Amino acid sequence: MEQALATLRAADERLAAVIEQAPFCDMGTRDQRDPTAQNLFQSLLRTIVYQQLSGKAADTIHGRVAALFPAA
């Protein structure tokens, strides 16, 4: 993660300033608003899928994608 942040800081000085001021976001933390998500990545994934599709289709696709990334 540090290497990615260093690359972004080097690419844009304004972005570097934002990175320095913003707190680090740990995508492994569990989102209390979504009890089905094991972490913030899965919560974000679910939010995006459900915004784009009907409930049943979203549920099926979300389950398949989440199964591919169980530890993400």
Query: Could you read off the pLDDT of 34-58 as tens digits, one per residue?
Result: 666 677 787 788 788 778 777 788 8
pLDDT of residue 11: 96
Return the domain boundaries, the chain: 2-68
Query: Could you read off the pLDDT of 8-37 as tens digits, one per residue?
Result: 999 999 999 999 998 776 655 666 666 666
pLDDT of residue 26: 63
pTM: 0.38
Name 34's Cβ contacts closer than 8 Å, sequence gap at least 6.
42, 43, 46, 47
Q: For residue 38, what are the CA distances in angstroms to 21, 44, 49, 62, 66? A: 28, 11, 16, 13, 10
pLDDT of residue 28: 58
